[in-house]
Structure 1
Amino acid sequence: MSAIVFDKRGQQAWITLNRPQAKNMINGEMFLDLADAWQEVREDDDIRVAVLTAAGDEDFCCGGDLAEVIPLWTGAKQPQTQAEERLLADPLITDKIMLKAPPLYKPVIAAINGRALGGGTELLQATDIRIAAEHAQFSLPEPKVGVVPGAGSMVRLARQLPWAHAMKILLGGELVGASEALIMGLVSEVVTQGELLARAEHYADNVCRQAPLALQAVKRTALETHTLPWADAFQFEMEQAAHVMMSKDAREGPRAFKEKREPQFRGE
């Protein structure tokens, strides 16, 4: 059974973490498969949006499978497979699966089907629209075992949430339920388990109706200007806007509106 299910549905890439028997924890195989999945989303011009979810009804992702990956990284275990050799040979593998380097400017939707603990909560911070099942829970418990959430949370969370909410998650290590996560702004929407995938599909369909170059420019600008001085940020924004305005899609949109039809955006 593959650790990741990659399902291309027209212009959508549905990525499913597929280790429900192991709480969808990220083991070596999932590290590699997820990195490859993000790269395919990045390079395939036909893909306009990615949806990230997980198998099962209890766990989205309960962090890294440390019993498998830590012995490799510390040298306590020698690589025995080609996958393990590749895992050791790529020091940036964590950055790749957490979309830190290189970044992904296409929209990413998360359908959170259960607990997201440790690395699971860190992975969610790399997504844009987050729909949670009402029984979902979130936590960064790393300090309880003497380590830190170093896959992006110490930087991302305080930029994505108000300070006090971010610090409650980072310093408290306690479980945060879906309703509280919604109030904090950690997730976009809370629905029943039965509604979860349909709502994710709704958002993905909506993204696909919009101009892909415009959406990527919006996300790129939001990410790249987050800590820039205002003047530099506005300059970057104007450059992105000018680039989009020169596209064929920017001419197609007004033309379709005038002709009272749905625009046919091609990402050109």
Structure 2
Amino acid sequence: MTPITLEKRGHQAWITLNRPQVKNMLNGECFIGLADAWEEVRADDGIRVAVLTAAGEEHFCCGGDLGEVIPLWTGVRQPANEVEERLKADPMITDRVMLKEKPLYKPVIAAINGHALGGGTELLQATDIRIAAQHAQFSLPEPKVGIVPGAGSMVRLTRQLPWAHAMRILLGGEPVSADDALHMGLVSEVVPLAQLQARAEHYADSICRQAPLALQAIKRTALETHTLPWADAFRFEMEQAGAIMMSKDAREGPRAFKEKRQPQFTGE
């Protein structure tokens, strides 16, 4: 069974965590598979949106497979195969998996089919639109086993949520329900599990009807200006807006509106 699958559906890339028998925990093959999948999404100009989901009906991702990955990185044991050799030689792979080292400016949708614990909750913070099944839960229990959620959460969560909500998740360790996550702003929408796939498809289809360069510029500006002073942020925004105004898509949009037809955006 392939632990990470990537299926291209037209302009969409559907990435699936595929270890339901072990709660979709991230082992070495998952780290490599996810890092490679994100790079393929980034490099393929035909892909306009990525959807991240998981196999099964109970767990989205219950974090890293601590028994396999942590001892390798801490030096407790030596690599036993080619996958572990690559992990040992690339300790920064987590940054690529969590989209920290190199941001992905294409929109990413998360279809959260169940519990997201530890690394699962950390992975979600690298996505943009997050749709959760009603039974999903979220938590960062790392301090209970003597470690920290160091794959992005200690920085991202307090920037994405109000302080008190972020610290409840970071310090409390107790699971947060899907409804509470919606109230906090951790997820965008909560739906019955049976509707999750359709809602993810709805958002992905909507994104594919819009100008891809414009969407990437919007996400790039939101990410890059988040901590800049206003004057610098507005300057960056204007640079992005100016570049988009020179694109072929920026001419196609108004032309299609005037001609009362759907625009045919090409990403140029």
Q: Note the residue ranges of structure 1 that are not aligned, 5 or more in a row.
A: none
Q: Distance in 2 between matches of 1:81 and 1:25?
A: 19
1:265 counterpart SS class: coil
1:14 counterpart SS class: strand
Deviations 1:217-263 (A, max 9, x none): 00000000000000000000000000100000000000000000000
1:101 counterpart SS class: coil
Deviations 1:166-224 (A, max 9, x none): 01111111110000100000000000000001000000000000000000000000000
Deviations 1:139-176 (A, max 9, x none): 01111122110000000000000111101111111110
Q: Note the residue ranges of structure 2 that are not aligned, 5 or more in a row.
A: none
Matched letter for residue 128 of structure 1: D
Q: Distance in 1 between matches of 2:207 and 2:192?
A: 22
Q: Distance in 1 between matches of 2:87 and 2:146?
A: 24
Structure 1 segment 1-268 matched on structure 2, within 5 A: 1-268=1-268
Displacement of 1:89 in angstroms is: 1.1
Displacement of 1:82 in angstroms is: 1.4
Q: Distance in 1 between matches of 2:80 and 2:91?
A: 18
CA contact (8 A) 2:73 2:91 kept: no
1:202 counterpart SS class: helix
Displacement of 1:88 in angstroms is: 1.1
**Identical amino acids, percent of aligned pairs:** 80
Q: Distance in 2 between matches of 1:222 and 1:76?
A: 40
Q: Distance in 2 between matches of 1:82 and 1:252?
A: 49
Q: Distance in 2 between matches of 1:65 and 1:264?
A: 44
Q: Distance in 2 between matches of 1:79 and 1:91?
A: 13
1:53 counterpart SS class: strand
Q: What CA RMSD, in Å, does the superposition of the two structures yield over aligned residues?
A: 0.6
1:190 counterpart SS class: strand
